[in-house]
Amino acid sequence: MRVFYPTASKKTWSILEVKYRSWLPNVDYLSGFLSKALPLTTGFRRFVVLVISYLLYPFFYPFLQTQASVKQPLLVPECSLIKEGRLPVVIFSHGMWACRTTYTATCIDIASHGYIVVAVEHLDGSAVIAQYHDHQGKRRWVEHAFSDVDFNEVPMSDRSRQLRQRVEEIQKTVEVLQALDQGLLSQKSNAIKGRTSLDVKFLQGRMNFDYLAIHGHSFGAATAISVCCVDERFKCCIAEDVWWAPVEKADYERAASNVPVLLLNTEHFNGKELQNSRNKFLRARAQLHGESATTELLTMKGTSHEDQSDFPLLFAKALKRAGKASKLDVRNAKDINSRACLDFYLRNLLPPGTGAPYLVDVVKEDGEHLEVGKIPHSKLSTVV
pLDDT tens-digit map of 188-230? 666 555 555 667 778 888 899 999 999 999 999 999 999 999 9
Domain membership flag for residue 141: yes
Q: What is the pLDDT of residue 201?
A: 78
Domain membership flag for residue 40: no
Instruction: Give the mean pLDDT of 52-66.
Output: 82
Q: What is the pLDDT of residue 380?
A: 45
Q: What is the pLDDT of residue 190?
A: 62
Q: What is the pLDDT of residue 45?
A: 87
Which of 7-21, 153-167, 204-218, 310-324 is the least confident region? Answer: 7-21
C-alpha distances out from residue 62 to 30, 32, 361, Å: 13, 19, 33
- Provide the domain limits for residue 207: 73-372
Query: Is 250 a residue whose pLDDT tops 90?
Result: no
Domain membership flag for residue 255: yes
Instruction: Give the mean pLDDT of 155-168.
Output: 96
Domain membership flag for residue 55: no
Domain membership flag for residue 378: no
Neighbours of 381 (CB within 10 A): 15
Q: What does the alpha-carbon distance between residue 244 and residue 275 come to, in Å, rounded to a whole number? A: 9
Q: What is the pLDDT of residue 383?
A: 41
Domain membership flag for residue 324: yes
pLDDT tens for residues 266-321? Answer: 999 988 999 999 999 998 888 887 777 899 999 999 999 999 999 999 888 888 88
Q: What is the pLDDT of residue 378?
A: 46
Bigger pLDDT: 17 vs 70: 70
Q: What does the alpha-carbon distance between residue 102 and residue 95 come to, in Å, rounded to a whole number? A: 9
Q: What is the pLDDT of residue 382?
A: 40
Domain membership flag for residue 268: yes
Domain membership flag for residue 44: no
* Domains in the chain, number: 1
Instruction: Give the mean pLDDT of 259-263.
Output: 95
Query: Is 22 a residue whose pLDDT tops 90?
Result: no
pLDDT tens for residues 114-141? Answer: 999 999 999 999 999 999 888 777 889 9
Report the DSSP beta bridge partners of residue 212.
89
**CATH code of residue 115:** 3.40.50.1820
